[in-house]
Amino acid sequence: MKFGRTLLVAIPYTWLLVFFLIPFGIVLKISFSDIALAIPPYTPTLKDGFWQMLSGLDLENYAFIGAGAVFAVFAVLVISVAMFQIVYPRVRRALIPDARYGVFDSAAAALTTLAVALVNVALIVALVSFLFPVLKSFVDIPDFLYFAAYLSSLKIAIISTFLTLLIGYPIAYGMARAAEHWRPTLLMLVILPFWTSFLIRVYAWIGILSTEGYLNQLLLSIGIISEPLAILNTPVAVYIGIVYTYLPFMVLPIYAALEKMDDSLVEAAEDLGCTTLSAFWLVTAPLSKPGVIAGCFLVFIPTLGEFVIPSLLGGSNTVMIGKVLWEEFFNNRDWPVASAVAVILLLILIIPIVLFQRNQEEAEQ
């Protein structure tokens, strides 16, 4: 009985592990190799023998793309967040004058918190200075392109997630407040774009946004503008494309959270003295938080590595890491560097994915 259950759980996990780990292992191995004019275009390979191959691997590609700098930025971010989470509640507790504990206790607590914070900072400084000689070669960036691409991707992902939330929340709210018999239709309308190819839909935006496109023609014929707007091949076009494509991923989880909310909660809030607006902020918004977080991650994670939208709509001005990866792989045929870029991207994505998982678990409780 127990064995059967273990087996049942083990099968899908093994499946996932094998089909995630094997490709990842291959990519990881290539990222440690060197570029070569051969088939496959890198060296060493298994043909040289297993041990020979292992000894030929190095971290050169990572140093080349500035992985150290990327990681340093990330490490600083993560440590700051962790520090903030440890220190902030204590500081806050210390600052609130609590009649039960008195001024003396509050002061003592504040001093203790300060001491803990100082010790933390000292520890981090010591660690960094100890590791600095090792990290130095990684932080020296031979080619700034990759680091810039990571940062630019991060910026585009954050801004477009925010824009999607801004547009998606009212849509989800409207759907959840619509009459019961309308909801399936509205849900259908949100899902409908998935019925055509993603590529075709993004391509359609070229027709809309280009200088001779429908949007410019419409605006010119109405007389709002006298010169056609240059939208295509700018970051604006990329944001439009991303927001359009990922909107359903934002709308659906928020709608799910709002739809199961009891309407009488808002009535109760109003009954207890809230205006319509404050009832929204105090009741509806906190209760839809799990949906908002889920939606943000569902948009943020794929956007960070997005390739199709920036390459079709963004032109040469928009640098995103997905596009860089593509160019390394197919234009430069530099598989090792492309693999290193992919591995770093995956490691960066692990943080939001882990946070997303934790949010899902909390929501289930």
Name the residue among 63, 33, 66 with its Cα closest to residue 150. 66
Min separation Cβ 89 and another protein, Å: 17
- Please identify which residue in 156, 175, 242, 283 interacts with another protein, judged by CB under 8 A: 283
- Within residues 210-269, the interface with another protein by CB under 8 A covers 262, 264-265, 267-269
Min separation Cβ 278 and another protein, Å: 7
| Cis previous bond, 40, omega within 30 | yes
Name the residue among 351, 349, 312, 345 with its Cα closest to residue 149. 345
Pick between residue 288 and residue 339 the one whose CB is nearest to another protein: 288
For another protein, which stretch binds (CB under 8 A), given 31-39, 63-71, 242-250, 280-288? 280-288
The sign of the dihedral angle between the CA atoms of 247, 162, 310, 215 is positive
Min separation Cβ 358 and another protein, Å: 17
Alpha-carbon distance of 205 to 189, in angstroms, equals 19
For another protein, which stretch binds (CB under 8 A), given 75-83, 121-129, 168-176, 282-290? 282-290
- Please identify which residue in 14, 55, 278, 360 interacts with another protein, judged by CB under 8 A: 278
Min separation Cβ 97 and another protein, Å: 12
Pick between residue 48 and residue 271 the one whose CB is nearest to another protein: 271
Residue pair 175/247 in contact by the 8 Å Cβ criterion: no
Site size with another protein, rule: CB under 8 A:
17
| Sequence-ordered alpha helix ranges (H) in the chain | 2-31, 50-55, 60-65, 67-95, 102-139, 144-177, 183-191, 198-209, 214-222, 235-259, 263-271, 276-279, 285-304, 308-313, 321-326, 335-364
Pick between residue 127 and residue 272 the one whose CB is nearest to another protein: 272
Alpha-carbon distance of 259 to 234, in angstroms, equals 37
Pick between residue 136 and residue 358 the one whose CB is nearest to another protein: 358
User: Does residue 38 touch another protein according to CB under 8 A?
Assistant: no
DSSP label of 331? I
DSSP secondary structure of 110-147:
HHHHHHHHHHHHHHHHHHHHHHHHHHHHHHS-S-HHHH
Pick between residue 128 and residue 274 the one whose CB is nearest to another protein: 274
What character string, x for contact with another protein (CB under 8 A) and - otherwise, covers 258-277? ----x-xx-xxxxxxxxx--
Pick between residue 5 and residue 100 the one whose CB is nearest to another protein: 100
Min separation Cβ 287 and another protein, Å: 6
Pick between residue 227 and residue 262 the one whose CB is nearest to another protein: 262
Residue 67: partners with Cβ closer than 8 Å, 6 or more residues away: 138, 340, 344
Min separation Cβ 283 and another protein, Å: 6
Residue pair 356/161 in contact by the 8 Å Cβ criterion: no
Pick between residue 60 and residue 270 the one whose CB is nearest to another protein: 270
Total Cβ atoms within 10 A of residue 181: 7
Please provide residue 109's backbone torsions phi and psi, each rounded to the nearest 5 degrees.
Answer: -60, -40
- Please identify which residue in 281, 286, 330, 362 interacts with another protein, judged by CB under 8 A: 286
Residues that bind another protein (CB under 8 A): 262, 264-265, 267-275, 278, 282-283, 286-287
